[in-house]
Amino acid sequence: MSENATIDPGRAEELRDQAVTQLVTDGTIVSQRVEAAMRAVPRERFAPEAALEDVYSPYGAVITKRDEHRVAVSSVSAAQIQAMMLEQADLRPGHRVLEIGSGGYNAALLAEIVGPGGAVTTIDIDPEVTERATRLLKENGYERVRVVRADAAQGVPEHAPYDRILVTAGAWDIPPAWMDQLAAGGRLVVPLRMRNLTRSISFLKSGDHLTSTSARICGFVPMQGAEEHRETLVLVNGTEEIALRFDDEVPADPHQLDNAILHPRVETWTGVTVGLQEVIDTLQLYLATHLPGFCIMAVDPNLDTGLVSPNNPRFSLAAVDDDTFAYLVTRRTPEEQSVEYGIHAYGPHGAAFADAVSEHVRTWAREQRGGPGPRIDVYPVSADVAADLVITKMHTRVTFTWPPATAAG
């Protein structure tokens, strides 16, 4: 007998309705199809290990498996993230859907939306995950969902083409099979990592490439198997206290930074202020696509000697220029209702680099602040792409087209 037998169905339904109502109120759920599915599927039955209050916390994930280092490798994603991606997918009854990354609950939501006239296939590389998904889907009346154990890099060609492909694990690249198995005019929703920043992007297939229709901040357990990709760490000063994380391009000679921290810190303030509740995801992407040497700085809290002083020791926007590095900081304004962006730089060219990074922040504020962000296109890596801002990965070339300054909000 499953753990679900001890759960009070009335209490579960009450919490489910409260969570869905909250997601409707905050604007995450905008369609009746997604709302109806999330009210219909009992989320607690796909996370029987967790307390009901945790299961129905709209913004919290439920970890279902960890590796030997206690790192999460499988989870039931936060309901807010799942609802957001379902809205990005624009699912319709009768659609054929491939879900990459199994768990059971999200596949049940997909099955509710596409209905008996549609088809849902879910794939995962981990046999424990697929066995669990198969069992839970069957127990809860979703036997028609196909569960496949395999490396998702190859997709599931026997049931292609798909009207929609939803990826529920963090992806560094888009394998050719996903594009090949997506129907013409179909939609791929994927949490894509680009220079250490993850965005859930909804892509439409147009000919030989994909074009974004929306991009939302998110976080996901990374993919395993052939498409697994690890960041490169550059240790400043040769110790693990300060690490610069690179997801794509890596400095040609990282050892040039060995003595950067020995130079006095240069501190520059940009004059750019943002409200405490203002969304600044476009600033992150703007710097990632315009600032050479962009990376993320992380400070080990157990080794921190105060050599650097970021606001967030685990995640600070940073960049490297040969023998010099810099990172963004903020300080409260006198009114305490906003913060101002500043730059800390270390190295023999700290002043010049701090000024260069500051100008990028000011340009964002003048030209892109409040705007829609860039259009993101994905082409096969062999394509001859005419674009100024390109990230080249293993299978693809990702391009960014920022709107003219007059179009920004």
With CA atoms as reference, report the closest residue to 169 among 227, 209, 90: 227
| Cα–Cα distance measured from residue 20 to residue 8, given in angstroms and rounded to the nearest whole number | 18
Using alpha carbons only, give the angle 53, 54, 60 rounded to the nearest 5 degrees: 130
| Cα–Cα distance measured from residue 194 to residue 141, given in angstroms and rounded to the nearest whole number | 38
| Cα–Cα distance measured from residue 211 to residue 243, given in angstroms and rounded to the nearest whole number | 34
C-alpha distances in Å from residue 119, one per residue of 97, 132, 203, 225, 228: 6, 20, 20, 25, 28
Kind plus residue range of the DSSP H or E element containing 399: strand 396-401
With CA atoms as reference, report the closest residue to 283 among 376, 354, 197: 197
Convert 95-113 into a string of H (helix), E (strand) and C (coil): CEEEEECCCCHHHHHHHHH
Separate counts of helices (H) and strands (E) for the chain: 9, 19
Do the Cβ atoms of 241 and 300 come closer than 8 Å?
Answer: yes
Phi first, then psi: give them for residue 42, nearest 5 degrees. -75, 95
| Cα–Cα distance measured from residue 403 to residue 409, given in angstroms and rounded to the nearest whole number | 10
C-alpha distances in Å from residue 22, one per residue of 77, 229, 277, 409: 17, 35, 19, 28
| Cα–Cα distance measured from residue 147 to residue 161, given in angstroms and rounded to the nearest whole number | 17
Exactly one of 77, 200, 202, 358 is catalytic; which is it? Answer: 77
Q: Catalytic residue at 31?
A: no
Give the residue carrying structure tokens 């993320």. 296
Token pair of 13 as six digits? 């339904």
| Cα–Cα distance measured from residue 272 to residue 333, given in angstroms and rounded to the nearest whole number | 11
Catalytic residues: 77
